[in-house]
Amino acid sequence: MKAFVALEDGTVFEGKGFGLEGEKEGEIVFNTSMTGYQEIMTDPSYKGQIVTMTYPLIGNYGINDNDVESDSPKVEGFIVREFSRITSNWRATGDLEDYFRRHNIIAVEEIDTRALTRHLRVRGVMRGIISTADHDRDSLVRKAKGSRGIVGIDLIQEVTCRAPYEFDGEKGDDTGSAALHCVVMDFGVKRNILRILRRKGCRVTVVPSSAKAEEIMAMKPDGVLLSNGPGDPEAVPYAIAEIRKLFGRVPIFGICLGQQLLGLALGGKTYKLKFGHRGANQPIKEILTGKVYITSENHGFAVDVESIKDQAVHVTHVNLNDGTAEGMEHETYPLFSVQYHPEASPGPHDSYGLFEKFRKMMETYKKEGNA
């Protein structure tokens, strides 16, 4: 079936639809990962976005029940160059097209994804429409111009949990006694973050993004993790205010959106990147050691370092592609953060050690009688 991708600047690409028929709006972005399409689709940080995969062949290893980062796909739509109808992998339990139909995801293939990606790199990511229902280009462009964007929108409420829960883990997650209690503020948390916390010997309690600081402290946590998530960090002032109340009371580790919220809680500002960082091959330099890590990233906003230069916080990591801040640490409070994804999924495991750093921070703080 014929399908179209229309951007708000009037650019239109024609392809073929697979998965669900219909129409969907969202911010059109691109991801440079060569594998991991199922983890990408189920990453809650992609809520509100239509993802273009730069790798040309998608679907060849099918889907399974283990490579998911949430309970269902969170992307608004999916764009690929070629969709493989041949599934070949011993772990596969189904194919991608059936998966899309089952979860009501519209996808488009036979798009010139190189041209689309180059366009977004030059012009910046923008609002758009994918449709198998409307074939009128002018109509599609009008819809794209009027579609919902990301800036100023609280998308976290569409992906956060509705009530606190204990993450019991999965087979192989818990390698010892749960000597530490970590509370995770769920802004759209990826499941592998929870898995790794369990493997590090933590009892994990997940709370909604609207949780109050006093509710969290009443749980007697040894540490609080601020998760990844979608959308504009400045659109969630309620979370920023509660995070600020936790400073100095408990160790804090922020990941991706968690770093941006920390920056805002410190009195800083964030800004939108032209086309964001999305992929599993971002080079990140650790300033103290000079070591370069290859990391997985998925974010469209960043902390304005100049806005927090009067705070007792220093930048620990920078992105070698554009110099943006990829890590921060407070010089007084036990808190640190990274803009990238140390849990990867998909991506390299170079930065798993950050979870060990968080564990040791929690142990030290608890040993000193602070928790």
CATH of the domain at 13: 3.50.30.20
Q: Is 110 a catalytic residue?
A: no
Q: Which residues of 264-279 are buried (b: 16+ CB within 10 A; e: fewer)?
A: bbbebebeebebbbbb
Judge if 192 and 327 occupy the same domain.
yes
Domain assignment present for residue 151? The answer is no
Domain limit, last residue, from 145, 171, 190: 145
Give residue 323's pLDDT. 96
Domain limit, last residue, from 106, 123, 145: 145
Bridge partners, 252 (sequence order): 224, 335
Q: Is 202 a catalytic residue?
A: no
Give residue 97's pLDDT. 92
- What are φ and ψ of residue 263, in 5° steps? -60, -40
Domain ranges, residue 95:
2-145
Domain assignment present for residue 242? The answer is yes
Pick the catalytic residue from 39, 76, 326, 343: 343
Judge if 349 and 295 occupy the same domain.
yes
- pLDDT per position in the chain (371 positions), as tens? 899 999 999 999 999 999 889 999 999 999 999 999 999 999 999 999 999 999 999 999 999 999 999 999 999 999 999 999 999 999 999 999 999 999 999 999 999 999 999 999 999 999 999 999 999 999 999 999 999 889 999 999 999 999 999 998 765 555 556 789 999 999 999 999 999 999 999 999 999 999 999 999 999 999 999 999 999 999 999 999 999 999 999 999 999 999 999 999 999 999 999 999 999 999 999 999 999 999 999 999 999 999 999 999 999 999 999 999 999 999 999 999 999 999 988 878 888 899 999 999 999 998 887 75
Which ranges of the chain does DSSP label H, i.e. alpha helix?
37-41, 96-102, 113-123, 137-145, 191-199, 213-218, 237-244, 257-265, 353-367
Domain assignment present for residue 150? The answer is no
Which CATH number goes with the domain that contains 333?
Answer: 3.40.50.880
Give residue 369's pLDDT. 73
Judge if 47 and 78 occupy the same domain.
yes
Judge if 37 and 96 occupy the same domain.
yes
Give residue 351's pLDDT. 86
Domain assignment present for residue 167? The answer is yes
Domain limit, last residue, from 78, 110, 145: 145
CB atoms within 10 A of CB 345: 23
Judge if 105 and 192 occupy the same domain.
no
What is the 8-class DSSP label of residue 265?
H
Judge if 338 and 217 occupy the same domain.
yes
Domain assignment present for residue 275? The answer is yes
Pick the catalytic residue from 27, 119, 256, 317: 256
Candidates 20, 81, 337; CA nearest to 185 is 337
Give residue 178's pLDDT. 77
Give residue 213's pLDDT. 98
Cβ–Cβ under 8 Å, residues 316 and 286 = yes
Number of folded domains that form the chain: 2
Q: Is 256 a catalytic residue?
A: yes
Judge if 141 and 164 occupy the same domain.
no
Judge if 128 and 277 occupy the same domain.
no
Give residue 170's pLDDT. 65
Judge if 89 and 8 occupy the same domain.
yes
Give residue 172's pLDDT. 54
Judge if 130 and 217 occupy the same domain.
no
Judge if 241 and 356 occupy the same domain.
yes
Give residue 368's pLDDT. 80
Judge if 290 and 218 occupy the same domain.
yes
